[in-house]
Amino acid sequence: MTLSDEGGSLIRFSGTSCEGSGGFSDIHTGAQVTVTDQSGKTVGISELQQGSYAAGNNCAFPFQVKVPSGLKFYGVAVTHRGTVQYSETQMRSGPALSLGD
């Protein structure tokens, strides 16, 4: 998951680590990641790992979650930010989640 900060106020950097700030303070190490199936049933839970600086004033938060294969769609939600739907192929290559400006 990537948090982008063109304006310079959404991310707090500390050395090589980072986390969300202000309205994005819920984006931090340990924030919950929930994966659901097409009916909304939870099929996996994980958490964001430590955020690290990424080019372009971005903060990248890796995460991994084991989910069953063969589902029609997978919904991925980080904290209360809403659910983004992905196909199984997209999940295998890593869902591209992003927030910010």
94 belongs to a structural domain: no
Euclidean distance between CA atoms 10 and 34, whole angstroms:
23
20 belongs to a structural domain: yes
* Structural domain of 58: 2-85
Task: Specify the number of domains making up the chain.
Answer: 1
58 belongs to a structural domain: yes
Q: Each residue of 16-57: pLDDT tens digit? A: 899 999 999 999 999 999 999 999 999 999 999 999 999 888
Q: pLDDT value at position 33?
A: 98
pLDDT at 74 over 90: yes
40 belongs to a structural domain: yes
Q: pLDDT value at position 16?
A: 86
| DSSP state for residue 91 in the 8-state scheme | H
